[in-house]
Amino acid sequence: ELGEHRHYMHKEIFEQPQAVIDTLEGRITQDQVLVSSFGPKAEQIFKTVEQIHIIACGTSYHAGMVTKYWMEDIIGLPCQVEVASEFRYRNPVILDNTLFVMISQSGETADTLAALHQINHYRKVHDLDGITSLSICNVAESSLTRDADMTYLTHAGPEIGVASTKSFTTQLVVLALLLTSLGKVQKRLSKERESMIAGGLQKLPNLIRMALEHEEEIRDISQLFADKQHALFLGRGTMFPIALEGALKLKEISYIHAEAYPAGELKHGPLALIDETMPVIAIAPLDDLLEKLKSNLQEVKARGGQMIVFEDERSDISSETSFKVVKATTNVGRITAPITYNILLQLLCYHVALIKGTDVDQPRNLAKSVTVE
Ligand code: F6R
């Protein structure tokens, strides 16, 4: 079943172009997103939505964090994101016309499911019919799909490795479809913009293939981590949640302590950690925030930190510094960039885990489906 792959995680990383194709199938045309793919009730519900509240755990939570940036920036809809275990134990104030989006690969995560039940209860008790829910899951007929008003499946196929890879990627694809559908129904998105997003999603399998071609280069870089116990990931904008996701993956499968920070927070504490032994991984696409990020990287360099930079082919961070650079990718847009750069981090974490000799598919103390809190 593993074929040429040593681990399921590796196999699943390489299945991502196909997983994206399968997830888009029948849901998108050349230049449009099909709102009806969200089900018969969707159009009516989407019309009345005034804010989005995303609830999830772990990697699925990171997909939600990326979405917050997209929602507010691209269609101007207020969006908050919260981990399920926090949401369920506070007394949230929920406004009418809130769309709750529950994200879960397994559809069985105890906290996420309990949060959904709480939302359904709140709606009843407060008589707020405008509160609605959408579950984004990879497993059909899972508990989370049964109890939500709408369900949307990621067609990632079975994910065996405990670390989530292709399910994260396909969650982001579905969230981009959601964003576009909401924007369309509420007339917050021009036809041109919709067509650009649809085009970008269609290019995505190829962009992922191109990212996967960097495997050897990334494997060489992973040697740097052979004797490391700590690492720091930096990003700005949507690359901040991608940095968080990289740090989570590194912790999970290589047992290296990793943290992620929005690069602008560096001076507010973590800069104290930087010395010649600290690897710092920066995610640096060519976007509006690149100049800001570069000055953060200069601060790291001045303290001797070991930099690994994932940058655009057209960028020049490498010419200014002695950092290790992966000339990652080019022609990525607002939606495709976080998805594409994350692929590079998956490869890095996987190869670091190989060097560390850990059980990549079954990391200690973790379960694929967290059905107890
Ligand atoms: C990380 C990972 C976990 C899950 C989390 C939520 O690689 O796999 O953090 O993302 O346990 O699981 P689901 O998405 O099934 O609700």
ipTM for the whole complex:
0.97
Question: Could you report how far apart the first and last alpha carbons of the chain are, in Å?
Answer: 32
* Calpha distance 266→259 (Å, rounded): 12
For Cα atoms 312, 313, 319, give the angle at the middle one, nearest 5 degrees: 95
Residue 51's nearest CA partner among 87, 99, 103, 116 is 99
Closest atom of ligand 1 relative to the 370 alpha carbon: 11
Q: What is the pLDDT of residue 268?
A: 96
From atom 7 of ligand 1, which residue's Cα is the shortest distance away?
Answer: 163
Helices 336-356 and 191-212 pack at an angle, to 10 degrees, of 20
From atom 4 of ligand 1, which residue's Cα is the shortest distance away?
Answer: 58
* Calpha distance 355→285 (Å, rounded): 27
* Centroid of ligand 1 to alpha carbon of 90 (angstroms): 22
In terms of C-beta density within 10 A (0-12 exposed, 13-18 middle, 19 or more buried), how is residue 302 classed?
Answer: exposed
Q: What size, in residues, is the chain?
A: 373
For the chain, 373 residues long, give each residue's pLDDT as a single digit of tens.
899 999 999 999 999 999 999 999 999 999 999 999 999 999 999 999 999 999 999 999 999 999 999 999 999 999 999 999 999 999 999 999 999 999 999 999 999 999 999 999 999 999 999 999 999 999 999 999 999 999 999 999 999 998 999 999 999 999 999 999 999 999 999 999 999 999 999 999 999 999 999 999 999 999 999 999 999 999 999 999 999 999 999 999 999 999 999 999 999 999 999 998 999 999 998 889 888 988 888 888 888 888 899 988 888 776 555 556 666 666 778 999 999 999 999 999 999 999 999 989 888 888 888 888 8
Residue 12: CB within 6 Å of ligand 1? no
Residue 57: CB within 6 Å of ligand 1? yes
DSSP secondary structure letter of residue 238: T
Annotation says 301 is catalytic: no
Residue type, position 60, single letter: S
Residue 60: CB within 6 Å of ligand 1? yes
* Residue among 13, 55, 57, 162 whose CB has most ligand 1 atoms within 8 A, to mutate: 57
Q: What is the pLDDT of residue 312?
A: 86
* Residue among 103, 105, 242, 358 whose CB has most ligand 1 atoms within 8 A, to mutate: 105
* Centroid of ligand 1 to alpha carbon of 299 (angstroms): 34
From the list 251, 327, 356, 368, the catalytic residue is: 368
* Calpha distance 3→363 (Å, rounded): 21
Exposure class string for 261-280: b at 16+ Cβ within 10 A, else e: bbbeebeeebbebbeeebbb
Q: What is the pLDDT of residue 297?
A: 87
Q: What is the pLDDT of residue 172?
A: 98
Residue 270: CB within 6 Å of ligand 1? no
- Alpha-carbon dihedral 140, 160, 363, 5, rounded to 10 degrees: -160
On the CB side of 290, how many CA atoms lie within 13 Å of its CA?
13
* 9, 361 Cβ separation under 8 angstroms: yes
Residue 58: CB within 6 Å of ligand 1? yes
Closest atom of ligand 1 relative to the 112 alpha carbon: 16
Q: What is the pLDDT of residue 323?
A: 56
From atom 11 of ligand 1, which residue's Cα is the shortest distance away?
Answer: 58
* Residue among 85, 106, 365 whose CB has most ligand 1 atoms within 8 A, to mutate: 106
* Calpha distance 259→248 (Å, rounded): 8
* Calpha distance 210→270 (Å, rounded): 33
Q: Read off the pTM.
A: 0.96
Tell me the two tokens of residue 98. Answer: 């809130």
